[in-house]
């Protein structure tokens, strides 16, 4: 805990990103990854396999953009850096361990950006404001040389920071928040599709809680009612064993992966 608190103080991060909890989440993800590395192993390998496959299907290998690069646990960085002339890693936060990893490559760039455009707008909001801000989705780093965009397990996470900031401060209804989250998610999907660039999309869809006997207790839609097309690779990610988030239940995520979103197969 003390080490994590020190890391929180020492890691450079924009003020509005701290306020939305991005840095806190990144440090927590790193800690969970250390604790659960072997349980997460099959999921992490599946993500890397899908990304390698998507990248092999690209006719050219000039620039690849990884959205939600996080702690690079799901990203075959070495493979991408060999395949592509330029690798661009985009996340709200890159921890020092990621900077250290990237330092070994001459062709890997990092961009710290909020791809929903909501952080700045939310922090500027007044309590009396009557509308939630409109997402301004973007793909930082996108250029004529982009041959592949990887949306790396961040679709369901796009709402976490905005909700963390907005819910305790503003008095909107549950329905308004759900609709807003759907807009955030659809905004990201829309910007990927409109880019016309080959996209590898990985996302969790549903979280399933099961008791110690394996009986299903609850199912949570992580995309707030937004739907993805059929034809993805589908696998289960054992996210948290009993004892990690609750002594009563484990959590498993159902993950979808597309090598050429939104088109099926390959």
Ligand X SMILES: C[S@@+](CC[C@H](N)C(=O)[O-])C[C@H]1O[C@@H](n2cnc3c(N)ncnc32)[C@H](O)[C@@H]1O
Residues near ligand X, by CB under 6 A: 22, 25-26, 29, 68, 70-75, 91-93, 114-116, 152-154, 157-158, 161
Of 151 and 250, the one with the shorter C-beta distance to ligand X is 151
Q: Which is nearer to ligand X, 11 or 157 (CB)?
A: 157
CB-wise, 104 or 212, nearer to ligand X?
104
Distances (CA, A) of 43 to 82, 134, 146, 192, 246: 23, 33, 27, 23, 21
Preceding amide of 262 cis, omega within 30: yes
Q: Helix (H, G, I), strand (E, B), or coil: what is residue 211?
A: strand
Shortest distance, position 49 Cβ to ligand X, whole Å: 14
Is 30 or 250 the residue whose CB approaches ligand X more closely? 30
Residue nearest to ligand X (CB): 70
Burial of residue 69 (number of CB atoms within 10 Å: 0-12, 13-18, 19+): buried
Rounded to a whole number of angstroms, the minimum distance from the CB of residue 142 to ligand X is 14
Distance in Å, CB of 207 to ligand X, minimum = 12
Q: For residue 255, which phi and psi values (nearest 5 degrees)?
A: -110, 140
Q: How far is the CB of 211 from ligand X (least distance, A)?
A: 25
**Integer Cα distance of 182 and 170 in angstroms:** 18
Q: How far apart are CA 58 and CA 17, in angstroms?
A: 33
For ligand X, the closer CB: 88 or 158: 158
CB of residue 213 vs ligand X: minimum separation in angstroms?
A: 29
């Amino acid at each position: 805990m003390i080490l994590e608190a020190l890391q929180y103080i020492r890691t450079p991060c924009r003020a509005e990103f701290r306020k939305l909890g991005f840095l806190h989440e990144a440090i927590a993800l790193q800690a969970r990854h250390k604790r659960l590395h072997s349980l997460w192993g099959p999921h992490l390998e599946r993500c890397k396999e899908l990304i390698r496959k998507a990248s092999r299907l690209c006719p050219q290998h000039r620039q690849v953009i990884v959205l939600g690069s996080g702690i690079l646990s799901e990203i075959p960085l070495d493979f991408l850096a060999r395949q592509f002339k330029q690798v661009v890693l985009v996340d709200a936060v890159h921890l020092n361990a990621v900077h250290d990893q990237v330092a070994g490559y001459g062709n890997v760039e990092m961009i710290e950006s909020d791809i929903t455009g909501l952080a700045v707008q939310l922090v500027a909001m007044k309590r009396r404001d009557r509308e939630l801000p409109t997402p301004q989705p973007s793909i930082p780093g996108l250029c004529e040389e982009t041959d592949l965009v990887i949306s790396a397990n961040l679709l369901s996470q796009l709402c976490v920071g905005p909700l963390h900031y907005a819910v305790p401060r503003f008095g909107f209804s549950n329905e308004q928040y759900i609709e807003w989250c759907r807009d955030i998610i659809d905004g990201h999907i829309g910007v990927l599709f409109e880019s016309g660039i080959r996209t590898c999309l990985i996302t969790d869809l549903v979280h399933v809680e099961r008791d110690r006997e394996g009986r299903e207790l609850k199912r949570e839609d992580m995309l707030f009612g937004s739907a993805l097309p059929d034809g993805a690779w589908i696998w289960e990610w054992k996210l948290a064993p009993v004892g990690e988030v609750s002594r009563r239940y484990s959590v498993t995520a159902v993950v979808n992966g597309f090598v050429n979103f939104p088109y099926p197969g390959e």
